[in-house]
Amino acid sequence: MEQQKKKKTGLIIALCSAAFVLVLGASITLPLIFANSGSKSFQLFEKKYVSEYDLDYGETAYKVYTKWNVRKYKPNNGSKYLDVWYSGEKSTAREHLRFRVFDSSSQAKRAYKNMYESYEDYRGIDEEDDNWFAGWEPGVCDASIYNMVYIEDNVLIMAELEIVSEWPVSIDDDTEITPEPVRSGFDRSTLKDYVIKHSEDLKNFVLDKVLAA
């Protein structure tokens, strides 16, 4: 009888030890799996950048990270998002960009698709690839803006590649005048290649630096 009790005790201890090892292993491996998996089954564990950001919809936080600003939007049609832009004197390519951050990559894809269609309906898409397109931005007053939109996971990256002033010009004859591009010390034509090359780094900068500040 005593021997049977010892066997049962040993079995219980062995089972408890095995359960402990399984729980410990799961606590270590599951976060790694979630972090490295892009499958929809793990979307539940993604951070909700918009929903969790400490702003009311329609409010703006200025200089949250150096001179980067964040505004929280909840459109009547479409997914809520954070608008992120730089308001200081721009000295780097990154500071010339604007970002829209969504709670999920699926919401970003829907917004990207809607923007693509609006550009296409306006003046057509001039350039495109798997993750980006470029064309003249609709709904702009007093200027024509040739804009690039790039999608990287849950972030849209927007770069103004060319800005043409549309302010009226007074002339004394019938000579047709073509509006001149707005000139600055920065070569905007370099932004397209910059975004394509650094899209993941730009996404990480906005999520891990600006929104974490």
The H-or-E segment that residue 30 falls in is: helix 2-36
Please tell me the predicted confidence (pLDDT) of residue 39: 39
pLDDT reported for residue 142: 82
Q: Tell me the C-alpha distance between 213 and 71, whole Å.
A: 14
What are the DSSP E strand ranges found in the chain?
60-65, 68-73, 81-86, 97-101, 125-129, 132-136, 143-152, 155-165
Specify whether the CB–CB gap between 87 and 62 falls below 8 A.
Answer: yes
pLDDT at 1: 53
144 burial level (CB within 10 Å; 0-12, 13-18, 19+): middle
143 vs 166: CA distance, rounded Å = 4
What pLDDT digit, counting tens, does each position of 103-141 carry?
A: 999 999 999 999 999 999 999 999 999 999 999 999 988
Q: What is the mean pLDDT of each run of 10 residues along the chain (213 residues)?
A: 52 54 48 45 68 97 97 94 96 97 97 97 97 96 93 98 74 51 73 98 98 95
Instruction: Give the rounded distance of the alpha carbon of 107 from its chain centre.
Output: 11
Rounded Cα distance between 199 and 192, Å, is 10
pTM of the model: 0.74
